[in-house]
Amino acid sequence: MTDNKEKLDFTQDKSSRRPKSTTPSTVKKPENKDALGAMIKVTIDGKDIKVPMGTTILEAAKELGITIPTLCDHSDLCVAGVCRICVVEVEGMNNLQASCAYPITSPIKVHTHTRKVRQARRHVLDLMLAKHYGECYSCVRNGNCELQDLADQYGVDFYRFGHMEKPEKGSDDSSYAIERDMDKCILCRRCVRTCVDLQEVGVYDVLDRGEETHIGTFLDKPMNEVICINCGQCINRCPTGALHAKDPSDVIWNAIDDKSKHVVIQTAPAPRSAIGECFEGVEPGTPLTFEMNTAIRYCGFDKVFDTNFSADLTIIEEGTELIQRLYGALVEDKGEALPQFTSCSPGWVKYIEHFYPEMLKHVSSAKSPQQMFGAVIKTYYAELNDIDPADIVTVALMPCTAKKFECNRPEMNDSGFKDIDYGLTTRELAQMFKEAGIELPKLKKSDFDDPFGTQTGSGVIFGATGGVMESAIRTVYELVTGKKIDDLFDHANIMPVRGFDGIRYAELPIEEVGPVPELLEGLVPNWDWLKGVTLKVAVAHGTANAKKVLENIKEGGKLSECHFIEFMACPGGCLGGGGMPIPTNEEIRAARAKAIYAEDEASEVRKSYENPAIAKLYSEFFTEGPCSHKSHELLHTGYNVRGKKMV
């Protein structure tokens, strides 16, 4: 397999995400272009350091281990310099400077905590608090609020400029996924930059001026009437409780307490790598998969299932659909919609629905692992255990706020019941544990419940960008060639599709083919038509990168030649989802990815088609095989024309 990502000039590097601010007129500009690559000496609080020209004072201070408070700054976002809490004193300048937006272009001396600086920061903080409705005890971010932390650090003991005593703007809870409480907004604009620059969706903007300035949607419409894709990235970067996910935990507790209900939960792979971050002393990337199972049972859930099972199921169904499309295009000349797009990220699906509806025919008809599992639980599992589906409450632990919207889509009830009743984020489950008095890291380990207990490495890597593609290649390659993918890639680790580059491209030549396996008998007569074909694939994470891919395809660019493309709405994939612990940044996402791939390496079964629970499901329930009438009825939606014909 070849990695040709260097030929595609799409990757968003850190410098493009965080453009340097324009040079202040009071700062001496370099006299020649050669100076642009120079190292500049800067002295901060008496400590000397040399930094590349253009480095901000804030970045230089971090290298020296000096803490400067910030609110509008975030490592994932472009520079704004609007909150002014990070002001510092630069010798020779009359005014204080915002350290996050001041590029170092000549030697300077900086002081970060003079009396003038401390007073200015305190005044800025007091002004924010005056316009902030601070019911901290009832706030979802109590104990994890950047404004609250600063008030503590700067010893706020009274409201110098008054305080908002009651809500004025009110909250918007119209969305299934995201709630907005603008009385807690501090106008840092992180949500605006996240939605516009990082995701290129554009739900939020700064509206009005002066005292009336506020963050709003188009025409200040409620969230359920705008183009929000429910990804929740704005929540992950909001420093206060102005944005948060809609929490169903009280309703779930009620279901657990109702003895007539059989409450089951499925747990996605990404939360396991991160839920420990919600507990003191646990480093990012500490896997607590099996401790979490114990805690869930302690809370009173009847069964704990592994979403890795339905991730494997998704690979079988989505991979079979890809084979159908390829056969239709290469043999039957039917003009199939290629490349095929993945469909397991609900934020991505909503993005293409809003912005590229003409390309929906490319989206796989396969439901996401969350929704497939719900359909299987309320049919196969209910029959197996003689339980009335009406008495089963299905909960999905997900890293994603968009999953809350997805489970409420009207088409997600093919079993005759709602596939998934409630979507629960990583943060929300951690709060349930705390409410039950559970210290998660201290618990003993326990396994998942049968008949879906077998986990595979292919399922767990769904949690990282490129994981769906890697899982699909592991299975499709072996089913088509009859050879082990391990012979082509060491330990089946398909490195060309891994990593955090915004867009990745790779090719897999199919030089030999084997017999059609029993699972796919009747689907195609043989694999001879694939011999000599080079499978071209791509991976994109974050909808800003998805936009680049779709535009390239529309223009007939290189990516239009692909056969299969994985899209994830969130930066880093599910491990960077809008329901994951706060804070999140590049370093934390990398730590979570490391935990996910370590679990993959430790798995005894690392290919989806080898999962014995999957084989049992097809032998006992979907007996006509993948993409059959019954599987389309329960496991697919109506996007794909071929799928509709089969039903």
In CATH, what number is assigned to the domain containing residue 391? 3.40.50.1780
Cα–chain center distance at 308: 17
Nearest partner of 550 among 307, 391, 358, 312, judged by Cα:
358
Alpha helices by DSSP H, listed for 50-145, are: 57-63, 115-130
Domain endpoint, select from 442, 460, 476: 442
Are 239 and 163 in the same domain?
A: yes
Residues 68 and 177 in one domain: no
Give pLDDT tens digits for 423-449. 999 999 999 999 999 999 999 999 999
Q: Provide the pLDDT confidence category of residue 33 given band limits of 50, 70 and 90.
A: very low
Look at residue 20 and tell me whether its pLDDT is greater than 90.
no
Closest CA to 88 of 56, 113, 108, 55: 113
**Per-residue pLDDT, 166:** 87
Domain boundary among 80, 107, 123: 123
Q: What average pLDDT does range 565-582 have in this prediction?
A: 98
The CATH number of the domain where 62 resides is what? 3.10.20.740
pLDDT in tens, 239-265: 999 999 999 999 999 999 999 999 999
Tens-place pLDDT, residues 121-142: 999 999 999 999 978 999 999 9
- Residue 110, classed as helix, strand or coil, is strand
534 in any annotated domain: no
What's the rounded mean pLDDT across residues 316-343?
A: 96
Catalytic positions, written as ranges = 318, 321, 344, 364, 403, 406, 411, 574
The pLDDT value recorded for residue 22 is 32
Helix (H) or strand (E) holding 42: strand 39-44
The pLDDT assigned to 426 comes to 98
Q: Do residues 262 and 407 both lie within one domain?
A: yes
**For position 226, which CATH number holds?**
3.30.70.20
Q: Taking residues 520-537, what's their average pLDDT?
A: 96
241: its two tokens: 């409780």
Q: Which domain holds residue 257?
A: 249-278+288-308+386-442
The verdict on 225 and 256 lying in the same domain is no
- Give a yes or no: residue 87 inside a domain: yes
Q: What are phi and psi of 606, to 5 degrees?
A: -125, 10
Is the same domain home to 34 and 78? yes
Q: Can you tell me the mean pLDDT for 412-420?
A: 95
Residues 49-73 have a mean pLDDT of 97
Give me the pLDDT at residue 36, please: 54
Pair type for strands 178-181 and 214-216: unpaired
**φ and ψ at 276, to 5 degrees?**
-60, -25
For residue 318, tell me if it sits in a domain: no
- Among 65, 94, 123, which residue terminates a domain? 123
- Across residues 613-641, what is the average pLDDT? 89
pLDDT band at 634 (very low <50, low <70, confident <90, very high): very high
- Domain tally, the chain: 3
Q: Are residues 38 and 99 both part of a single domain?
A: yes
Do the domain assignments include residue 360? Answer: no
Q: Position 241: which residue type? A: G
Residue 21 confidence class, pLDDT cut points 50, 70, 90: very low
- What are the tens digits of pLDDT across the range 363-392? 999 999 999 999 999 999 999 999 999 999
DSSP 57-83: HHHHHHHTT-----SS--TTS-----S
Q: Please check whether residue 368 is in contact with residue 343, taking contact to mean a CB–CB distance below 8 angstroms.
A: yes
Are residues 253 and 392 both part of a single domain?
yes
| Residue percentage of the chain with pLDDT more than 70 | 93
CA distance 236 to 225: 22
Query: What is the per-residue pLDDT for 617?
Result: 97
Residues 71 and 175 reside in one and the same domain: no
Whole-number pLDDT of residue 1: 61
User: How confident is the model over 464-508, as pLDDT tens digits?
Assistant: 999 999 999 999 999 999 999 999 999 999 999 999 999 999 999
- What pLDDT, on the 0 to 100 scale, is given for residue 170? 87
Whether residue 115 is contained in a domain is answered as yes
Do 260 and 407 fall within a single domain?
yes
Same domain for 109 and 79?
yes
pLDDT value at position 423?
98
- 294 with 393, same domain: the answer is yes
Residue 505 forms part of a structural domain: no
User: Do 257 and 393 fall into the same domain?
Assistant: yes
Within a domain: 545: no
Kindly report whether the global pTM for this prediction surpasses the value 0.95.
no
- Domain presence at residue 494: no
CA dist 414 and 559 (Å) reads 34
What is the Cα–Cα distance from 390 to 262, expressed in whole angstroms?
A: 9
> How many alpha carbons lie under 13 Å from residue 273 in its C-beta half-sphere?
28
Per-residue pLDDT at 23: 30
Separation between Cα atoms, residue 599 and residue 456, nearest integer Å: 9
